[in-house]
Chains A and B, each alone.
Chain A
Amino acid sequence: MGIHHLVKNIFVGTMLALLSHISLADPLAQAAAITSLDHDTQALKKAVLDLNKELFLLEEELLYPANTQVAVFVSMDVGQYFALESVQLTMDGKDVGNYLYTEREVDALHRGGVHQLYLGNLKVGEHELVAIFTGKGPHGRDYKRGATLEFAKNIGSKYVELSISDRVEQLQPEFMVREWD
């Protein structure tokens, strides 16, 4: 939160400075300044938002360089036979994520949203990813399934998609792990 909060503080501080400038000016200049204040505020707000976005991207680039970056996403296609509650993720036997999905988040996945479950760094070489999906299966029963992916990490970003879909002929959910380079 640090850098984004910093940007917010700079924005608030700048606005205070602008306001104090108006209060110190002579009456004629004050009237003119008030007229243009709205435009200045909007321009400043846009500049701060742009700066915040750039900082966010820079932060991500620094923390997760493209050469070592691994990102894991969750997507859902239909999901009639499975009500997702959580996904637990382990990478090379180490817990790296445990995410509880709220109703609103599951609804967003149903509507085509993709959730970034994990973003981290991995060395070049062989790795194993295990995802454990927990939720309610057919007939509202507790349901827990795992999906494993053994993959080779090369130089460059690696994207992995955990996909939940319906296997209609068996009336069961299906969990797939796909690699994207």
Chain B
Amino acid sequence: MAKIFLKLLLAAASGVLVSIAIAGPLSQGSPPPDFSLRSLDEKNLRLSEYRSEVVILNFWAPWCGKCLEALQSLDALYADYREAGLQVLSVTVEGPPEDIREHLSGTGISFPVLTDDDYKSVSRMYDLGKLPLTLLIDREGNLRYRHAGLKRETNQKIVGQLEVLLSE
């Protein structure tokens, strides 16, 4: 019996240490900060309402050259995996919405594009560094993978990770 209590105590202590180690706004395995933003089609969308779906959350800006390329890759993924439970949300850190609509006209992007230009509150919460920033969030709402910037192998990695999350 004493052994069990000792193990429970050790487990609790390890829980505390793990928790301290992963503290921070963007910790892998923890829920990322929740937010709601207005989309280009004038709907308010909240990240936490997509729990039970795998979410790809992408941050971008119109002045970022590789961002449009990343958005188009994500749109292809969205078309392929939407039925399997994928939701893509992209957040632009620049505005206004009219300019973003014009910027994206002709690209055929079909997932919601949200604008964070008024207060930049969401961008601040997510502590953006290199753009595009792409986050993969599992069905339980936990951040699982993070990709800053766009490298040649990024899309391939995202597909592999996405398939893992969709199969869970």
Binding site for B on A (CB under 8 A): 1-2, 5-6, 9-14, 16-18, 20-21, 85-86, 98-105
Contacts and interface: CB of A to CB of B under 8 A. Distances in A.
A10 B15 contact: yes
A13 B17 CA distance: 11
A113 to B, nearest CB: 15
B7 A21 contact: yes
Given A9-B19, A13-B14, A14-B8, 9 more contacts: A1-B30, A10-B12, A12-B15, A14-B11, A17-B10, A17-B11, A21-B4, A100-B37, A105-B46
Given A1-B30, A14-B8, A6 B16 contact: yes
A100 B44 contact: yes
B146 interface: no
A166 to B, nearest CB: 22
Nearest to A86: B44
Contacts of A18: 4, 7
A20 B46 CA distance: 40
B74 to A, nearest CB: 22
Nearest to A84: B44
Contacts of B16: 6, 9-10
B44 A103 contact: yes
A9 B44 contact: no
Given A1-B30, A2-B19, A104-B49, A17 B44 contact: no
Interface residues of B, number: 25
A100 B38 contact: yes
- Of B4, B10, B11, B46, most A-chain CB atoms within 10 Å: B11
B45 interface: yes
A6 to B, nearest CB: 4
Nearest to B6: A17
A102 B112 CA distance: 14
Given A9-B18, A100-B38, A14 B12 contact: yes
A102 B45 contact: yes
B119 to A, nearest CB: 7
A5 B30 contact: yes
B110 interface: no
A100 B3 CA distance: 52
B164 interface: no
B36 interface: yes
A2 B23 contact: yes
B120 interface: no
B149 interface: no
B144 to A, nearest CB: 15
A102 to B, nearest CB: 5
A79 to B, nearest CB: 15
A14 B8 CA distance: 5
A7 B11 CA distance: 12
A102 B36 contact: yes
B11 A21 contact: no
Contacts of B11: 10, 13-14, 16-17
Contacts of A104: 46, 49
Contacts of B23: 2
B31 interface: yes
